[in-house]
Structure 1
Amino acid sequence: MDRSLQNAHAKLMSRDIHRLTPSPTEANCFSTVGTIISRDMTPMFLKFSVDDGTGCVTCILWLNQLTSPYYNRFNSSTILLHSRTARRQARDIRIGAVARVRGRVGLYREVMQITTTNVIIERDPNAEILHWLECVRLGRSCYRIQG
């Protein structure tokens, strides 16, 4: 992957996320902004839903970095950093908050969901509408999304 695109996320609205076709070979990095409408925490993960007015998308924030075999390939300081970051983000995710969610979009039980890499609670009251406007602009000029 081109290093300049490593942290790039395509901005989409929930309805467009649900229209995606999953691809196991591409890096499906996307972001959306919306209001958190549900929250279900387990010791392994935090599952929450974001509603942006066009629909809802389920998001998963994994919290098991210290016990997951996936993280065995990283050094212990990286695992600890991921764990602390995930737990801090999970603490900030509250129903009613507006959040910017970034991550990989994939299919789980026949429904698209975001496996989050980053969740930012928005403080700007205009964040959601600005995201909408940017999605419309990008949809027309870059993504070839109609509607």
Structure 2
Amino acid sequence: MNFYSGVSTVCYVPVITFICNIKYTDSFYIGTQPITRAQVTGMITAVSKASNRTSIGVDDGTGVITCVYWLNNDDPIFKLGDVIQIIGKLTVFREQIQLTIENYQFVGFNDEILHWLRAADLMEIYSKPVVIKEQIKAALTEPDDDLRIIRDWIKLQHSFEFHQLLQDNSWGMSVATKRKHVKTLQEEGFIYLSNEERDEFTMVDASNLGRDIIEIVQRETMKSGSIGFDLIRYYLKPEFKNVGFKQMNKILDELVRSDQITQISQNKYKAF
């Protein structure tokens, strides 16, 4: 994206929107905001089946969008005239915007009206100019050497108490600087506070975040057969809420390679 998407509050979440407001140039946008996922609600006006997918046309009164459901062991029944709410990843196929279905539910006309009201209200937010402060730009383009040093030190420790970080005086950093950088790494989702009483932090990796993901996927597989990427993030424990998408995908790939979970389609998982 030609934008600092990392500081956008809506870039990676499903935006509640009218179909007509989804735009595509080099990336997907709603108003001035870059987006990758959307939530739409409308009536099913077309159904087309193939051997590995079902495509449906959804009309919300402002436009029609093709939504694709990749088949696994399930084959949901989509009927003409049903009102459906869909969360999915935006893609382009043959120069047409599409939505790869990650989650869906059949709803009533009252839910469709509620979606309209929320989409209209949120459009005011999406239309505001994006302002990136100079210090944020600098942080995105100029790596902090002190922060890199502490990050590398943590990789060697994996878990540490803050007083252990203070004992290393070779870096010439103040206590305040070290505390600031630990907080930054916590906000980035690189570490989490594993024991508040001891002021102990632990690096986020497959041994902790992976365990939480496995429990979520196993639980949701028993309930509904599978779970999408966004719902996995939604159900994560609070200490993992700041973990970035790149790190999440890396750990999910590790879990799939080790056969602890199975990827059944793009961004959708299950456990046996």
User: With structure 1 as the length reference, what TM-score do the two structures score?
Assistant: 0.69
C-alpha displacement of 1:56:
0.3
Which residue is 1:133 aligned to? 117
- What number of residue pairs does the alignment pair up? 116
**Distance in 2 of aligned mates of 1:128 and 1:27:** 22
Amino acid of the residue matched to residue 20 of structure 1?
Y
Higher CA-based Rg:
2
Residue of 65, 74, 81 corresponding to 1:96? 81
Aligned partner of residue 126 in structure 1, secondary structure: helix
Which residue is 1:45 aligned to? 53
Give the number of the structure whose residues are more often strand, by fraction. 1
Determine if the alignment matches structure 1 residue 143 to structure 2 residue 143. Answer: no
Aligned partner of residue 104 in structure 1, secondary structure: strand
C-alpha displacement of 1:125:
2.7
**Distance in 1 of aligned mates of 2:91 and 2:47:** 19
Determine if the alignment matches structure 1 residue 11 to structure 2 residue 16. Answer: yes
Give the number of the structure whose residues are more often helix, by fraction. 2
Determine if the alignment matches structure 1 residue 107 to structure 2 residue 92. Answer: yes
Instruction: Describe the superposition over 1:47-101 as per-residue Cα deviations: whole angstroms up to 9, x where unpaired.
Output: 00000000100010011x4xxxxxxxxxxxxxxxxx43xx2xx22x211000001
| Identity across the alignment (%) | 28
Check whether the contact 2:13–2:36 (CA below 8 A) recurs between aligned residues.
Answer: no
C-alpha displacement of 1:20:
3.4
Amino acid of the residue matched to residue 121 of structure 1?
F
Which residue is 1:61 aligned to? 69
C-alpha displacement of 1:34:
0.1
Check whether the contact 1:34–1:51 (CA below 8 A) recurs between aligned residues.
Answer: yes
Determine if the alignment matches structure 1 residue 23 to structure 2 residue 37. Answer: no
**Distance in 2 of aligned mates of 1:120 and 1:22:** 30
Flag structure 1 segments of 5+ consecutive residues without an equivalent: 66-82
C-alpha displacement of 1:14:
1.1
**Which structure has the higher relative contact order (CA within 8 Å, separation 6+)?**
1
**Distance in 2 of aligned mates of 1:22 and 1:50:** 24
C-alpha displacement of 1:37:
0.3
**Distance in 1 of aligned mates of 2:70 and 2:26:** 20
